[in-house]
Chains A and B, each alone.
Chain A
């Protein structure tokens, strides 16, 4: 049975993890490679590295980092953040990333999904959508939730699938940064809209939230950052609770 995936997300700036990380026994908690290795050992099914480096010159650091991660990691990983061209995608995939996550760039240039999927295959193109409740529906936001694009989330997600995205990374901007739980209504609607896998993001605070995202929200994978970084939830325990709730997971 296909397992539901647990995906820790690491924010990267200038080649280092940025969020305060509370891990004992790490020589260097700011080293993404060491943290990635630890997550893989603990049973993470996949990792997402989100680059928030602002400057162009520093992006070379990212490619070098991806190369280092790929050497060490024997599970799949996705790289996202500021990716805007087929050439950049190619660089990251060649460096060893399994997937790239595209966000603002595809809002401005939806055709980029087609170009990237035609060239590299849908399996490595993740459409990241930051959705925020606006009246009776959700709109697509960019720039970390600060800019409303005016696009409605559901038709945009459907368009992303039709253009060749292989997966949706769905972040609720209403819940992101809170520990109030995932936006289940948003998840349900997206899952009714598309037939590609959906990763739930934004709002994880407890194991129960993660179980709800899968059982009620029908998510294929659950992504979170702080609850894993601060060791509030151990991946191993989360997976055991998933099993008790009759959700298939990969035990390592």
Chain B
């Protein structure tokens, strides 16, 4: 069973609908007892980093996420919060599970937000990428981006190269919205769902 973390900062209906289409059993919860029982966690998020982080802290979920060993997939803002910090909101401290700081796209160079369908360079053989390739399009909507680092498993370019997908042990994340990314997104969520049934590779 997959648990979608509910912390008042996400379009939970979309993720839940996507899991329904995959026939993946899931619950939406902020209750740590229920999270403890789940096989895997989806950590969604849209909106601003600062209130989202505050909402996590208020519910004690920040420590729960930092300590979990379950496969966890952060989506969009959910992925961004996995990093050490973000420039958003004059500087917001993140969960620190992945190193690096989120930066803002330069709206003098291109339109911000980066909104729409884009392809990625897959730079790893991570099982999350099974069945996907450099021609797969994913749906992005974001104004801040994660720079590339050793945990990057797929990069995207929008004026600058940035991390489209990240994986570090049990912690994974996508900057795009797999739940809105057509067949490619469906495949990615299926890959995550499959991962939850077996042991997670450590990279």
A2 B18 Cβ-Cβ under 8 A: no
B116 A45 Cβ-Cβ under 8 A: yes
Known: A74-B21, A166-B115, A196-B111. A98 touches B14 (CB 8 A): yes
For A197-211 the 0/1 string (1 means CB < 8 A from B) is: 100000000000000
How distant is the Cα of A40 from the Cα of B1 in the complex, in angstroms?
A: 29
B47 A120 Cβ-Cβ under 8 A: yes
A195 B111 Cβ-Cβ under 8 A: yes
For B174-186 the 0/1 string (1 means CB < 8 A from A) is: 0001011111011
A74 B185 Cβ-Cβ under 8 A: yes
User: B113 at interface (Cβ–Cβ under 8 A)?
Assistant: yes
Q: Which of B59-67, B95-103, B136-144, B194-202 contacts A (4 or more CB under 8 A)?
A: B136-144
**Total of A-B residue pairs, C-beta within 8 Å:** 90
Residues of A near B180 (CB, < 8 A) are: 74-76, 98
Nearest CB on B from A69, distance (A): 10
B13 A70 Cβ-Cβ under 8 A: yes
Within 8 A of B (CB), among A141-188: 166-167
Residues of A near B116 (CB, < 8 A) are: 2-5, 45, 197, 220-221
A166 B137 Cβ-Cβ under 8 A: no
How distant is the Cα of A189 from the Cα of B186 in the complex, in angstroms?
A: 38
Residues of B near A196 (CB, < 8 A) are: 111-113
How distant is the Cα of A58 from the Cα of B155 in the complex, in angstroms?
A: 45
A2 B11 Cβ-Cβ under 8 A: no
B115 A197 Cβ-Cβ under 8 A: yes
* Chain B interface, DSSP helix/strand/loop, else mixed: mixed
Known: A76-B139, A195-B107. A70 touches B14 (CB 8 A): yes
Residues of B near A95 (CB, < 8 A) are: 13
Residues of A near B119 (CB, < 8 A) are: 1
User: A94 at interface (Cβ–Cβ under 8 A)?
Assistant: yes
In this complex, how many residues of chain B approach chain A with their Cβ under 8 Å: the count is 37
How distant is the Cα of A195 from the Cα of B186 in the complex, in angstroms?
A: 31
How distant is the Cα of A2 from the Cα of B46 in the complex, in angstroms?
A: 20
B114 A2 Cβ-Cβ under 8 A: yes
A74 B118 Cβ-Cβ under 8 A: no
Within 8 A of B (CB), among A87-127: 93-96, 98, 120-124
Known: A1-B118, A75-B182. A96 touches B111 (CB 8 A): no
How distant is the Cα of A167 from the Cα of B157 in the complex, in angstroms?
A: 20
The one of A75, A121, A195 in contact with B139, judged by C-beta atoms closer than 8 angstroms, is A75
User: A71 at interface (Cβ–Cβ under 8 A)?
Assistant: yes
- Kindly report which residue of chain A lies nearest to residue B180, judged by CB atoms: A76
The one of A76, A98, A122, A250 in contact with B113, judged by C-beta atoms closer than 8 angstroms, is A122
The one of A70, A122, A197, A220 in contact with B17, judged by C-beta atoms closer than 8 angstroms, is A70
Within 8 A of A (CB), among B92-128: 107-108, 111-119
How distant is the Cα of A70 from the Cα of B111 in the complex, in angstroms?
A: 27
The listed residue with most B CB atoms (<10 A of its CB), out of A93, A124, A197, is A197
The one of A76, A96, A120, A124 in contact with B13, judged by C-beta atoms closer than 8 angstroms, is A96
Chain B contact residues, CB within 8 Å of chain A: 11, 13-14, 17-18, 20-21, 46-48, 107-108, 111-119, 135, 137, 139, 141-143, 157-158, 177, 179-183, 185-186
* 6 A-B pairs with the lowest CB-CB distances in the bound complex, closest first: A250-B137, A121-B47, A96-B13, A250-B117, A3-B117, A123-B141
Beyond the given A70-B13, A167-B115, please list 12 additional residue pairs across the A-B interface where CB-CB is below 8 A.
A2-B158, A5-B116, A70-B17, A74-B18, A75-B139, A76-B139, A120-B47, A121-B47, A195-B108, A197-B113, A220-B116, A252-B137
